[in-house]
Structure 1
Amino acid sequence: MQDKKQLVTIKGTRDGLTLFIDELCSFNEAIKELHDKIINNKPKKDEPIVSVKVKLGNRYLEGNQDKQLTDIINHEHGFRVESIESEVIRKEDALKWKEESKIKVINRIVRSGQVLEVVGDLLLIGDVNPGGKVVSTGNIYVMGNLYGIAHAGIDGDRNACIVASYMKPTQLRIADYISRAPDYESDGVYMECGLVDEEQDKIIIDRLQILSHKRKELSRFERRVQNG
């Protein structure tokens, strides 16, 4: 007689347990088998809490199904859900991610009193005059003179950076970090970038070339520019 296919597979790792849930079976079937396996693998009372990652494959959880999974795993003392991971995302989430990862190319001068704000990365072909301000949820690239205020990673992205052909800003801001004019050379600097140095716990200005080492993920910017 052929063995019944396992709907829930448990694998131990150095960091805890990983649960793989079959993506083709019904959710109720998976929940029942998961409940039985959690009880059978329950740690002893004197053992430390075990961290659990749940892998769903191409299954998307609807309604309160994620809560049902969490309740079953956390109900028996000794387990804690660290993450529930699916290869599937909702259409609206995909569109939001696309919008946030897009580069906005704008050709203009941001004058005193004006604020230019975008979602995603900003590529400004033009100057930011004193009293002008550019704001982005991602990185800011100014192909011109940056004299005003630039605020990158406004939603909290501390890995964002600010790049300018000529940098002499009134203020730089990255996420919740602020760096003011006295931090810069009085005559300004050419082809430099501003980014957060976590060790110094402040925004630093450095050569543009360091981005290839400190912000390797910026290669996606080059691909998007080349591919349109």
Structure 2
Amino acid sequence: MAQVRSYVTLKGTKQGLQLLLDDESPFRTLLEQMEKQLNDQKGKLISAKDERLQVMVDAGRRYLNEHDRKELKELLETTFPLDVTEIRSDVVSRKEADALVRKKQMVRMARVIRSGQVLELEGDVILIGDINPGAVLKTTGSIYVLGSLKGVAHAGTDGDVRAVISASFMDPSQLRIAHVVRQPPENEEWRGMFECAYVNDEGSLELERAQKLGVLRPELAGEE
């Protein structure tokens, strides 16, 4: 007898269900067969409390565009008592891959960012120069200023709270990492040589000596 091909595999997890999809069949065929198989296994889709189950979909080496993802999500949530929490794929588009590379890149500049200038970048930034009062530097990664930081520095603009801001001379008008903002204190000077800013475990933006970055963010230390 010919072996029956399995288009979908169900696995139980602590969070709900994991749905493993066949990544070789045509997408339309996959949807049809997946619906049939899930109908045959409806007993596994009912929670003990008779609530909708959360499901993470793993598409393996299949590329799914936005339309495919929407169609897949609608089928699962409309036809079955499921709430899709994530659709994961090991394949990304060229555009998505280029965006990931830009976020991981290191941008090096030797210049002064002057008052009124707003510079928005992607990746980590090493600036050999100053950020003057009234100037703004924003980036998705961390900011390292080999000079004076007297303007505004915003690191982790995409929400990366692990980003840091470091400067040879720290006297900013505002520091921001992801959504966390810190203004200079009113009753004391906010100045220091070789300082860094980071978001602590409580979600507050703190200043520390730059020498402690390797302890605060071990991933920055690299390999010996």
If the TM-score is normalised by the length of the shorter chain, which range does it land in?
Answer: 0.7 to 0.9
The corresponding residue for 1:226 is: none
Match status 1:202 vs 2:207: no
Q: Normalising by structure 1, what TM-score?
A: 0.83
Confirm or deny: 8 A CA contact 2:129 2:148 kept in the other structure.
yes
Percent identity between the two aligned chains: 36
The corresponding residue for 1:86 is: 89
Measure, in 1, the Cα distance between the counterparts of 2:118 and 2:46. Answer: 59
Determine helix, strand or coil for the equivalent of 2:185.
helix
User: What letter corresponds to residue 52 of structure 2 in structure 1?
Assistant: I
Determine helix, strand or coil for the equivalent of 1:36.
helix
Residues 64 and 191 (structure 1 numbering): CA distance in 2 closer, same or farther, change over 3 Å?
Answer: same
Q: Which one of 125, 129, 137 corresponds to residue 128 of structure 2?
A: 125
The corresponding residue for 1:48 is: 51
The corresponding residue for 2:179 is: 176
Match status 1:11 vs 2:11: yes
Measure, in 2, the Cα distance between the counterparts of 1:209 and 1:10. Answer: 49
Determine helix, strand or coil for the equivalent of 2:166.
strand
Unaligned runs of 5+ in 2: none
Match status 1:30 vs 2:33: no
- Equivalent pairs counted in the alignment come to 220
The corresponding residue for 2:213 is: 211
Residues 7 and 95 (structure 1 numbering): CA distance in 2 closer, same or farther, change over 3 Å?
Answer: same
User: What letter corresponds to residue 208 of structure 1 in structure 2?
Assistant: A
Measure, in 1, the Cα distance between the counterparts of 2:17 and 2:32. Answer: 19
Measure, in 2, the Cα distance between the counterparts of 1:173 and 1:61. Answer: 35
Unaligned runs of 5+ in 1: 224-228
Q: Normalising by structure 2, what TM-score?
A: 0.84
Measure, in 2, the Cα distance between the counterparts of 1:142 and 1:183. Answer: 24
Residues 205 and 183 (structure 1 numbering): CA distance in 2 closer, same or farther, change over 3 Å?
Answer: farther
Determine helix, strand or coil for the equivalent of 2:25.
coil
Which piece of structure 1 moves more, 61-70 or 76-85?
61-70
Confirm or deny: 8 A CA contact 2:154 2:178 kept in the other structure.
yes
Deviations 1:69-113 (A, max 9, x none): 112211235211111111111111111222232111001223334
Q: Which one of 148, 164, 174 corresponds to residue 167 of structure 2?
A: 164
The corresponding residue for 2:109 is: 106
Deviations 1:136-194 (A, max 9, x none): 22211111222222122234333321011221222212233322222796372222211
Q: Which one of 65, 78, 87 corresponds to residue 68 of structure 2?
A: 65
